[in-house]
Structure formats: C-alpha cells, structure tokens
Amino acid sequence: SCATPQATKAWAEKHQDLPYAQLADTGLVVSRAGFGCYRVDDATPEHHMALTTALRAGINLVDTSSNYTDGSSERLVGRVLAELSQAGKVSREQVVVVSKAGYLQGSNLKNAQERAARGEPYAEVVPFGEGLEHCLHPEFLADQLSASLERLGLERLDVLLLHNPEYYLGWAKGQGKDLAQARQEYYRRLGAAFAHLEAEADQGRIGCYGISSNTFPAAPDDPEFTSLSECWRLAQGISEQHRFKVIEFPFNLLEPGAATRANQPGDQTLLDLAFDLNLGVLINRPLNAVLNQRLLRLAEFRDDPPAEGEIPAALERLAASEARLKNDLLPGLGLEASVLAEVEQAAGVASVLSPNWQGFQGLEHWHSVQTGLLVPSLTGLFQFLVNQEAQDGPLNEWVKDHAKLAQDLMSALERYYQSKAAQVSRGIKLQMRGLDRNWDQAEALSQMAIRSLRSTSGVTTVLVGMRRREYVEDVLTELRRPVEQRERLKAWRKLSQ
C-alpha cells in the first residue's frame, strides 16, 4: 500500500482546520507542516506520543531517513502507522512517507565494512570522515531502500530522496581535485542514481524521488553548490515522464537564500525555478539556523540566568567531589592501571567544563556536549562504580552525592545558555517586526519562523522537529491561523541585508 491521491484529498477535507497543498503533480495532498524525524526513535514514549498526536490531528507528511537515530526513526514511523491503521484512526493511504539514503553511519557503516572485508565493497564510497561515509551508487541505494522498507513495514515508499549528495563535492574539495572535473563526476553519479530510482519507481518500490541538499540555495561559485537546473536536465535526459518530483533544503529567517539568491539560469532563485517546474518543496531546519558556523534556535527561551558566581561555585564543588573519588575511593578498589585511567577520565567533568563553560557556541552546542559526551560518560561511570560494592557502601553514597552536584551544575549551565538564547531571540523578533504584516501577527518566534515559510509561494511543506507533544500543539496552533501564500520577496531581501 502507499499514499493515494483520493485518500489524501479525503483526509484534507476531513481536517479543514489545517491547510494542505498539492505535492508536485503526484496528485497527493500534504499538510503545510510535516513531522520531521531527525532526532526521534522508537525507544522514547514521548516521541511515539508526539508522532501519534500529529498524525491524528491531520499532519500527513512524515520525513525521515535511513541514518536518523541509526534506523530507529524509521522503525518509529512504521510502528505508529501500523498501530493507527489497526485502530482505524489513520490509514496508510492517507500519509505521505518520505525517507532518504546516502549516509553510511552506525550499523549502516558497519555492514558496509563487513561487505568490504568479504571482498564485496560498495562502489564509489566517499570516505568523508571518522565514522562517516557517503554513497550514491545504485547497488547501495537498492540495499538502503530494502532496509528502509523493512524498518518502516511498508511495501512502497512515497518519496525517496538522495541525502546530501554534495558530500562528494566536499570530499573532492578536501582532496584538492579540480572543481570542473569534480562537478562533472558529481552529476554523472547523480544521473546514475536517477536512472536507478526511475527503475525503482517502475518496480513500484517508490512513488517518486528527488534530492535533499543543504547546498541547493548556495551561491553558484560555492564548491559544494548543487544546481537544481542541472538536476532537472539529468532527469529530463532519462525521460520526459521522469519521477524527479521533490526537493528538500534549508530555509529560515537567518538563511533566506532560497528566496533571495539568483543561483539558477535566467536570474531565477531556487524557489522561482522550483515553482516553474512544479516541484514539491520541503523545507528543513525552519527553526535551526546556521549563521557564521553557529547553530541558532529560532524559538522562545526562558530568561532566568544563574546568579553571579553560581556556576564557578558549582564547578568547585564538583571538582572537590571528583578529587575525593580519585584520592580516597579509587585506590582501594585495586583496579588495573588502564581501567583506573578510564574511570578517572570519565569522572573529569569539572576539568572539562572549567576552562570551557563560557565558550560553547550556544544552547544547541551545549546540548550536544551535554547529551553526547557528559551524560553518557557519567552514566557509564556511575554504573561501573555501583557494581564494585554492596548497596550501602561509600561508593554508592558518592554516586548519589556526585549525581546531585553534576545535576546542579548542568541546570545552572542550562539556564545560562537559555538566557543567552532568549536575548538572541528577542533581537531576531525585533528585526522581524514591520517586515510583513502577516508575519507580525505571529506571537512566538517559532510560529513567526514557520509562518514566514508557509506564507511564501513555492513552499509546499515546512518540516518541523516535533519530538514532544507540546511542539506538535504549537505547530498546529500556527497552522490553524489563516495566511495568504505569496512571493514576499521584499521581506526576505530585507532580512538578508
């Protein structure tokens, strides 16, 4: 089964409180906001509830990828769709499922490495960095689609996008390759991928295909620029009835290039050409802007900074607790030198943060360090220590006390970076005021950010990360407010100045 024009149109008629749009010439009707699955997984009940809430409320486009949370994102989508279908709340035919392929990370990378060890490597793999490779080769795409369909529990994917193919251009630039030759090879690879995806559409495994690229809106002289006009030419070269129907790219209040930069032939912008070609346009990162290599969240934040000296004092207490572990408790455990070194390193949160706590690029950077490094390190440390003695021993008492000290410090740092983010958000809102009458009517910055996009002609659906039910409700509240869709070039140009 797959999404059908009849079912999606009926779904839109049922949910007349939400706005919908045609997805290119597929006949499918999709909600103006879609559920972005970048950081959701099938192990978090909150994510399950958020997706369930969004689908039942009328949001009927879901955007995921084979590499999101190592496949767990796709499993969540499949699980929720199956549950809602079985309960008679939402049918598969009413929901447009978009996924992507191209990345080799996590288990995907491990599987590829095992193939290579057997003498069966994927061709044309780009070794981009430690733990990250990329591939557009038809054999790889076929395997990825099979794996995605299995995780999603689907027979057919509505839309399959090549995921950030410009990784090849970035790699070629790093290798010092000639730009003209690199671009020639880039579009050759894209053409081969398109031909394969046409065959997948013929076989009924996908409905249509396209590209998700961060560099669609870039300047033409950017070494990693992906040209929409060239991609269209490739598809046209395969067949005039090609299934290249959908593109996805970043566009937000601080990155307005899609509406302002004339990077296509005839001095057209990306949105101009996409509109003329009747392509489905999915917008990602509507609330996460990258400015000067810094990630900024376009949302409201609590402005409740910690008291002066609160963070240094919390760091001192944590450092004293770490010293007690090292000097008083660890020597009695008789650990091997290598294990002892690992334990001391895991415990050294204060030594990591003391010189750096004011130097994170912002709230999102702090969150990535906290969740990606500090919390896993402390969790592993605590688990190791409590296994070393009886439940009422000194190590267990230390773990309880130290966990409280660490939590106090992280809470203070959270308030510190929340306050800084709140100041930035206020500045952006002031900059926005007066640019567009419709945009001014939005109350929260997140709603203003979504409204600016969905009110701009050429945009089909804005993909929003809605990992929590309150995020879903915030998006639904915005969608239910009527707004006219038109060019709005004047407002976007003022923002880009």
Give the model confidence (pLDDT) of 182-231 as tens digits.
999 999 999 999 999 999 999 999 999 999 999 999 999 999 999 999 99
Please report which confidence band the pLDDT of residue 388 belongs to, taking 50, 70 and 90 as the band edges: confident
The alpha carbon torsion through 314, 315, 320, 324 (nearest 10 deg) reads 100
**Count of other CB atoms within 10 angstroms of residue 474:** 19
Binned at pLDDT 50, 70 and 90, residue 389 comes out as confident
**Rounded to an integer, what distance in angstroms lies between the CA atom of residue 106 and that of residue 432?**
40
Give the full edge-to-edge strand order of the sheet including 103-104: 103-104, 132-134, 126-129
Q: What is the pLDDT of residues 302-336, one digit of tens each?
A: 999 999 999 999 999 999 999 999 999 999 888 99
Q: Which residues contact 303 (CB under 8 A, 6 or more apart)?
A: 418, 419, 422, 423
Question: What SS3 class is residue 340?
Answer: helix
At 447 the pLDDT is 93
What residue ranges in 285-437 does DSSP mark as E strands? 288-291, 294-297
- The pLDDT score that the predictor gives to residue 292 is 82
Q: What is the C-alpha end-to-end distance of the chain, expressed in Å?
A: 48
Tell me what the mean pLDDT of segment 470-475 comes to: 95
- pLDDT tens for 17-60 read 999 999 999 999 999 999 999 999 999 999 999 999 999 999 99
Q: State the average pLDDT over residues 363-374.
A: 90
Mean pLDDT of 255-276: 97
Residue 129 has pLDDT above 90, yes or no: no
Taking residues 339-358, report their average pLDDT: 93
